[in-house]
Structure 1
Amino acid sequence: MKIALAGLLLILLSPLYYGYVLNGFVATWRWVKDWGQDPNYRTYKSFNIKIPKKYTVHGIDVSYYQGKINWQKVKAMKEDEVKVSFAFIKATEGILQVDPYFQRNWREAPKAGIICGAYHFFRPKKSGKAQAKFFLQVVNIEKGDLPPVVDIETLDGVSPLRMRLELSDFLTYVEMKTGVRPIIYTGLKFYEDNLEGKLDEYPLWIAHYYQPKLRLDKSRWKFWQHSDKAKINGIGHVVDFNAFNGDSTLLANMLVK
């Protein structure tokens, strides 16, 4: 018995034991942080998602997938200081497809007081210049709009180099015709694998879901799509939710002049 007690005391007083306890505490803290218990990443019940708290300007992006939207209800929704201030609206894809709800969304969202931008879903197998021409035939970019967006998230079987060449042609043509530098939208993994260090002069909109922080230097991106499961009044399907990297004044500075 005495030997057992002495052994226990030796363990409790051992630096190795305290190191083990400390390591366990650190591991637990990391687990809690990684699993979304970060105080800067809280659940907003009305939106039904966790939202990073360090951002003051929020928005959504929509396509035909969301169906017919009541934009007045979207605009009126608010919990604490979180509300929908901007929306990116799908316009086109490839060289033939026009989103069937684009014209309605493009007309009705601004009427409700929501700042809008249009996006094109890029197909790397198709000519970048042809896609840019098609996009601009459909979208009339005006003063007060967000810059146009090109959504690139797949190689479609071509090489990363070919994708970047076609994408560069799209970006160059749109900027030449509108005088506005487009935004590149992509997922974090696709960016790291195919775009990091390339086309750095263009603003970035990055998709990286269910995390309290975007794993990319804040100087590199403008918008962060942090969830694809938001519930928004006036929309019958879940929606992507986004944070803007800045305040309302910085957002206003991005708008087409």
Structure 2
Amino acid sequence: MRGWIKGLAVIAVAVIVAACGGQHPQGIPPQFGDAAPHPWYGRTPAGYEVHGIDVSRWQGPIDWQGVASGGVSFAWIKATEGGDVADPMFRANWEGARRAGLPRGAYHFYYFCRTAQEQAAWFIQNVPAERGALPPVLDMEWTRSRNCPGRPSPEWIRAEAQIFMAIITQHYGQRPVVYTTVDFFRENEMWRLNGVEFWLRSVAGHPDQVYPGHDWTFWQYTGTGLARGVSGEVDLNAFGGSRQQWSRWLARRSQ
């Protein structure tokens, strides 16, 4: 779909949600909407108390005061990719979220044709070590890059992840959270990474169904969410515990 048509569709959905007096897709928390809602059954995102967003340049300018007042409790912001790509909106988003008083952290999108050492150094170069920030995130998923089409072995991927995390942990004093997708998690046996907190994508079912037997801390439940302060679609995420548990997690896992 062309970008401007998609944008009109998102605006139309947002208007409809607002006009219906707060109605929202089944299973989505009432403070949010969804441009392409999934029919949720069983345990739904609405059953969790703490929700957040993750953003990059593709969200455009963000009203962070609006985000903070719209039921969002945390945000992860794209900072870097590979060993030489920096998100041009990172600084604005990083400072905007800070001014709004919103807990926020930075994430790195892993590129399989650069070494873990190069990528960790690039992240450190671009992301300040600030007191109170959320732990960094290592985003590992399959890509369709024409410049890097290969798929390394699971053993290589896990070894590189460990190297990256060790460098980042030493610099920031917090071990990264690992974000990944269903196929990547399964094909690379990511559960073999010891002592890791996972942020798992699952837009068609609860993580306990999609990742049976595996622990998780954050759940990305839609990539087409609608939230106050963001003009288009945005990823929505839930913390896998109560608000009291979230407060304890923040105290333990903030830098």
TM-score range, shorter chain: 0.7 to 0.9
Instruction: Please say if 1:57 is aligned against 2:45.
Output: no
Task: Report the AA paired with residue 227 of structure 1.
Answer: T
Task: Report the AA paired with residue 220 of structure 2.
Answer: Q
Where in structure 1 are there 5+ consecutive unaligned residues? 1-40, 78-82
Give 1:161 shift: 2.2
Q: Which residue pairs with 2:229 in the alignment?
A: 234
CA contact (8 A) 1:227 1:240 kept: yes
Q: Which residue pairs with 2:116 in the alignment?
A: 128
Instruction: Please say if 1:67 is aligned against 2:55.
Output: no
User: The residue matched to 1:68 in structure 2 has which SS?
Assistant: coil
| Structure 1, 104-113 or 247-256: larger mean CA deviation | 247-256
CA contact (8 A) 2:52 2:237 kept: yes
Instruction: Please say if 1:170 is aligned against 2:164.
Output: yes
The structure-2 alpha-carbon separation of the partners of 1:222 and 1:254, relative to structure 1 and needing over 3 Å to count, comes to farther
Select 2:84's aligned residue among 75, 86, 96.
96
Q: Which residue pairs with 1:160 in the alignment?
A: 154
- 1:1-257 matches, within 5 Å, as 42-44=27-29, 47-49=32-34, 52-77=45-70, 83-154=71-142, 156-157=149-150, 158-212=152-206, 214-215=208-209, 216=211, 220-246=215-241, 247=243, 248-257=246-255
The structure-2 alpha-carbon separation of the partners of 1:128 and 1:71, relative to structure 1 and needing over 3 Å to count, comes to same
TM-score (norm 1): 0.76
The structure-2 alpha-carbon separation of the partners of 1:110 and 1:166, relative to structure 1 and needing over 3 Å to count, comes to same
| Structure 1, 182-191 or 207-216: larger mean CA deviation | 207-216
Aligned residues: 212
For 1:43 and 1:164, how far apart are their aligned partners in 2?
33
What is the aligned-residue identity percentage?
37
Give 1:207 shift: 0.4
User: The residue matched to 2:179 in structure 1 has which SS?
Assistant: strand
The RMSD of aligned alpha carbons is 2.0
For 2:234 and 2:207, how far apart are their aligned partners in 1?
20
TM-score (norm 2): 0.77
CA contact (8 A) 1:91 1:102 kept: yes
For 1:45 and 1:54, how far apart are their aligned partners in 2?
11
Return the structure number with greater strand share.
1
Partner deviation per Cα, 1:16-75 (whole Å, 9 max, x = no partner) = xxxxxxxxxxxxxxxxxxxxxxxxx62456522365232111000000010010111111
The structure-2 alpha-carbon separation of the partners of 1:46 and 1:203, relative to structure 1 and needing over 3 Å to count, comes to closer
Q: Which residue pairs with 1:15 in the alignment?
A: none
For 1:201 and 1:46, how far apart are their aligned partners in 2?
33
For 1:84 and 1:45, how far apart are their aligned partners in 2?
12
For 2:114 and 2:221, how far apart are their aligned partners in 1?
29
| Structure 1, 101-110 or 160-169: larger mean CA deviation | 160-169
The structure-2 alpha-carbon separation of the partners of 1:73 and 1:252, relative to structure 1 and needing over 3 Å to count, comes to same
User: The residue matched to 2:224 in structure 1 has which SS?
Assistant: strand
